[in-house]
Structure 1
Amino acid sequence: MKPGSITSALRGVFLASLLSVSCVSLPAAWSLSLKAGLTPLSGGDVHQGPAFDGSVLLGLPAGSLPVDVDAKSFDDVYGDFTELGLEAAYAASENLSYTVGLGWLSADEGVLRVGTVAGALPLNGRFSDYQDFQVYAGVRYNFRITERWNPYVGAQLGYKRVDEITASFSVPNTPFNAPYQDALTNAKFYNASNVWTYGVTLGVEYKLTDKATVALETGYLAQGSLDDNDSIVGLLGLNALNDEGDLSYVPLRLSLNISF
């Protein structure tokens, strides 16, 4: 099953409750966490902002149709991402824990104005849903300032699979000439990509019972650039348009942690 399908099936349940747990038998000193949250802050560009001659799009004389594309970030295109996670932690000591986890990050398709044609007409872009799946490992230091309150910091390194991203470009009420009309509809923009991920986290955990805690967590996470696909944008000489594709984000998560 694709990561996107898993996310779509589970997103409503996780975000509605945020506090549900599976019955899993793990050795003593292990804990299992279910995490859910949003990413109100993200950085990195989906595409750059070149200017080019778009006369071929409408069959006009060369040089007669200037097109200006604005650089757009992941925040511009997608806004908030939804994040889900499942993490196991091993307490090596009172303060030191080792973690391994799975994560899903997703956002619905982005539709926005990406530039102008002939200085006035809007150039619109529609980018397909963002979906990824990652595995990671990390280390966490627990300060445990009281019996119930445990602020902590951590670091992690992982590997992520990001689904293909396609893009459609259009000018309202102005169809492009063939073959550009079809070519620029659901055009391949980024290939499905495998990228490294890394980041730091910090949070605070509150003890509910001897076996259960809840935590609020944030941090800074980043990943490598996506694999750009120039098979369509290259027809317009825009090979550099999608040379970016590196995403960074600051999540805000709530988690339920059960010790075994």
Structure 2
Amino acid sequence: MKKLSIVAALSLALASPAALAAGPQPGKLSLSVFGGIDAPASGDVHDGAIAPVPDLGPLNPALAGVSAELRIQSRGHDEIYDLATGYGLEFAYGLSDRSEVFGQLRYTETDDGTVQVGGAFVPALNTELPVYGTFSKYKALTVEVGYRHYFMQPGATRPFIAGRLGATQTDDIRATFEIPDAAIAIENVPFTEKKWAASAGVDVGVLIPVGERFSITAQAGVRYVADLEGDDSAIGGLGLGSINDTGSRVSVPVSVAARFDF
């Protein structure tokens, strides 16, 4: 009987929500530190355009008097940039043991990206030469607020769903365009300006209690950032001023966080 009593007491202690009560509580604050990856899914870095160039001489003196037609095609974030890294801080305030509001500061960065952006048709040669573009790092700072709802009772591993709204400041992007077969390069020119744009997202995830005031959170979601502001100071003269009037980004972030409840 004594052994049965001990086993029963241990079982009750392990099953008790108070033993691992990490997670939202009414009127309580929490701090989360997170990091992960952010995969671009859709959204164009630039649009397409067809622009005649009457004389290639200003770009390469050896081609003075030779005309061409630039045939630029649209290219997406997922075609130019690889996985981004993302990390940041989040503060949350519990509305109940199943819901909370939060504010989040997040930084996202990718490496430079290079891709063929189109071709340059040269009538004199009756051929189209490939045009390549290299775009500088995508770096963005996001400030958002949101609401998160948890399922199941405190003390257990708890799935949740969340929504968020805010703004994202994307650093200016510079570009280098090259036509290697014609020895033409337009190097490190302004492409988009540094700008704040609206952002939003949804998440699904799970909170895993580790202690009474500490838990691990894993989540994935979808993020949207609105269009950027094009800088035509260098490419406008080539008839390409319309290609950077875009820049919206849809991505899929996956992150892990350490959460501390107070």
Q: What TM-score results when the alignment is normalised by the length of structure 2?
A: 0.81
Aligned residues: 227
Partner of 1:47: 46
CA distance in 2, matches of 1:186, 1:150: 49
Q: How does 1:5-20 map to 2 (within 5 A)?
A: none
Contact 1:72 1:114 in 2 (8 A): yes
Q: State the percentage of identical aligned residues.
A: 28
Which ranges in structure 1 are unaligned for 5 or more consecutive residues?
1-26
Amino acid in the other structure paired with 1:96? S
Matched, 1:150 2:158: yes
1:209-244 CA-partner distances (Å, limit 9, x unpaired)? 111111211111111111111111110111211111
Contact 2:82 2:111 in 1 (8 A): no
Q: How does 1:161-200 map to 2 (within 5 A)?
A: 161-176=169-184, 181=185, 184-200=186-202
Report SS of the residue matched to 1:56.
coil
Q: What TM-score results when the alignment is normalised by the length of structure 1?
A: 0.81
Partner of 1:17: none
Q: Which moved more, 1:166-175 or 1:223-232?
A: 166-175
CA distance in 1, matches of 2:193, 2:70: 25
1:59-96 CA-partner distances (Å, limit 9, x unpaired)? 4547x423222211011111211111210111110111
Partner of 1:112: 115
1:19-78 CA-partner distances (Å, limit 9, x unpaired)? xxxxxxxx972111111111234211000122222453344547x423222211011111
Contact 1:145 1:151 in 2 (8 A): no
Q: Which moved more, 1:211-220 or 1:140-149?
A: 140-149
CA distance in 1, matches of 2:64, 2:52: 10
CA distance in 2, matches of 1:132, 1:35: 16
Aligned partner of 2:240 among 219, 234, 238: 238
Contact 2:116 2:133 in 1 (8 A): yes
C-alpha displacement of 1:127: 0.5
Amino acid in the other structure paired with 2:228? L
Partner of 1:79: 82
Contact 1:49 1:241 in 2 (8 A): yes
CA distance in 2, matches of 1:54, 1:81: 36
Amino acid in the other structure paired with 2:151? F
CA distance in 2, matches of 1:120, 1:155: 47
Partner of 1:201: 203
Structure showing greater radius of gyration is 2
Report SS of the residue matched to 1:243.
coil
> What do you get for the CA RMSD once the two structures are aligned?
1.9
Which ranges in structure 2 are unaligned for 5 or more consecutive residues?
1-25, 58-62, 122-126
Report SS of the residue matched to 2:221.
strand
Amino acid in the other structure paired with 1:82? T
Aligned partner of 2:147 among 127, 139, 146: 139
C-alpha displacement of 1:173: 4.8
CA distance in 2, matches of 1:222, 1:29: 30
Whose strand proportion is higher, 1 or 2? 2
Partner of 2:228: 226
